[in-house]
């Protein structure tokens, strides 16, 4: 019975996903490049560890360190800001530097590779912990984009741990453990990064123009004036019905910086942007339910794509589930 090595299986799965999403054109190019990089690394591991193509070992560390910068750039473009070629091209220096080390100072690779994975994973976590506002993330997704990117950051850090385990095994004279650590630990990590990055909640909608600069701290009167404009915009244009609505789009419609709008909502409403918008969506859903629309149609007609998020927000806003809401309305009509 023919069995595929784990790294080759991972490479085939990731390559299939990359091809599928490329044909469907439902992911940005940077997402597909990240997926292809993970597939390439898994393939190289399989060819070197299981098929004896040892001449490819020189490529392995270079292709490996391409994954963390690509994950960071994907995170940036999906959740924070559009890619800036001049600014973001600097990340290409990471694999270039690693290639230099491979040919001129190979002894340093045992430190360079894990440091790269650890640094980029930590950078994503630090950014999320400092400010979990993701301007390009869909507001309908709620906290899921933050959780997705935290998972990817943790996987990057775990990959660094795999390199540390390899060094420890070599130090203890257990070189025989190296193929197993690389095959299992690294392959599973690459598969995890690839699969998690393909989540729809990992991606957002990038806008072409940069956000305006953040002004000085606002006065209470300015917050109130901004919220009045936002409320009017939500009521008149019903932007909350757009399931792909982002903080960036809201700020652009109001011609204010992203952070100013987010801070104003937080200070005046005591909640984040997602909950503010979902409040309008739930009110709209309630109107649909009262008029006789079923729960699924009410959800879709109110800017929600996922039932779990809809149910969670419905309970938060109304204090009861959609079915309980309908039951209470029916009982009120009967007693009335």
pLDDT mean over 241-263? 89
pLDDT band at 335 (very low <50, low <70, confident <90, very high): low
pLDDT mean over 7-30? 84
Residue pair 240/234 in contact by the 8 Å Cβ criterion: yes
CA 282 to each of CA 20, 145, 240, 264: distance values in angstroms, whole numbers, following the listed order: 35, 21, 10, 21
Least confident of 22-36, 108-122, 210-224: 210-224
Q: Which CATH class is domain 6-202?
A: mainly alpha
pLDDT tens readout for residues 142-151: 777 888 888 8
CA 106 to each of CA 57, 115, 332: distance values in angstroms, whole numbers, following the listed order: 12, 15, 76
pLDDT mean over 212-231? 71
Residues in contact with 285: Cβ distance below 8 Å, sequence separation at least 6, in sequence order: 298, 299, 301, 302, 304, 310, 314, 322
pLDDT of residue 197: 63
Q: Is the pLDDT of residue 214 over 70?
A: no
Give me the helices (H) in the chain, please.
6-24, 29-49, 60-64, 67-75, 85-88, 93-104, 109-130, 144-171, 178-180, 187-197, 220-237, 247-254, 258-269, 273-290, 295-300, 307-318, 322-335
pLDDT tens readout for residues 122-135: 999 998 888 767 77
**Where do the structural domains in the chain lie, given as residue ranges?**
6-202, 220-335
pLDDT band at 188 (very low <50, low <70, confident <90, very high): confident
Q: In residues, how long is the chain?
A: 336
Return mean pLDDT, the chain: 83
Specify the higher pLDDT residue, 196 or 240. Answer: 240
pLDDT mean over 72-84? 84
pLDDT of residue 30: 87
Percent with pLDDT over 90 in the chain: 23
Percent with pLDDT over 70 in the chain: 88
CATH classification code of 220-335: 1.10.10.60
Least confident of 95-109, 121-135, 140-154, 194-208: 194-208
Q: Is the pLDDT of residue 205 over 70?
A: no
The two domains 6-202 and 220-335 share their CATH topology (first three levels equal): no
Specify the higher pLDDT residue, 39 or 214. Answer: 39
pLDDT band at 206 (very low <50, low <70, confident <90, very high): very low
Its pTM surpasses 0.85:
no
pLDDT mean over 286-302? 91
Sign of the Cα torsion 240, 243, 248, 252 reads negative
Q: Is the pLDDT of residue 231 over 50?
A: yes
Helix (H, G, I), strand (E, B) or coil at 204: strand
pLDDT of residue 216: 47
């Amino acid at each position: 019975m023919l069995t595929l090595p784990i790294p080759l299986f991972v490479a085939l799965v990731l390559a299939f996903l990359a091809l599928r999403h490329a044909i469907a054109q439902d992911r940005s190019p940077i997402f597909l490049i990240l997926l292809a990089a993970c597939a390439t690394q898994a393939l190289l591991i399989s060819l070197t560890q299981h098929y004896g193509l040892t001449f490819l070992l020189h490529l392995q560390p270079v292709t490996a360190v391409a994954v963390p910068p690509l994950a960071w750039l994907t995170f940036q473009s999906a959740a924070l800001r559009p890619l800036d070629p001049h600014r973001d091209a600097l990340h290409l220096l990471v694999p270039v530097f690693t290639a230099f080390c491979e040919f001129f100072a190979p002894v340093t690779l045992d430190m360079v590779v894990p440091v790269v994975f650890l640094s980029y994973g930590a950078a994503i976590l630090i950014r999320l912990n400092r400010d979990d506002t993701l301007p390009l993330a869909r507001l309908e997704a709620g906290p899921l984009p933050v959780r997705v990117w935290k998972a990817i950051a943790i996987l990057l850090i775990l990959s660094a741990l795999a390199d540390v385990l390899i060094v420890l095994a070599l130090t203890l004279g257990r070189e025989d453990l190296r193929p197993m650590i690389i095959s299992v630990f690294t392959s599973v990590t690459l598969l995890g990064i690839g699969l998690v990055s393909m989540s729809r909640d990992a991606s957002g909608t990038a806008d072409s123009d940069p956000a305006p600069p953040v002004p000085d701290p606002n006065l209470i009167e300015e917050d109130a004036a901004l919220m009045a404009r936002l409320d009017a915009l939500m009521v008149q244009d019903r932007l909350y019905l757009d399931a792909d609505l982002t903080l960036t789009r809201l700020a652009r419609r109001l011609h204010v910086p992203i952070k100013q709008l987010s801070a104003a909502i937080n200070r005046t409403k005591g909640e984040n942007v997602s909950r503010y918008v979902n409040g309008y969506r739930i009110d709209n859903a309630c109107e649909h339910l009262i008029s006789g629309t079923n729960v699924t149609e009410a959800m879709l007609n109110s800017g929600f794509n996922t039932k779990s998020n809809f149910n969670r927000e419905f309970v938060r806003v109304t204090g009861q589930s959609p079915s309980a809401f309908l039951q209470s309305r029916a009982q009120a009509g009967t007693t009335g």
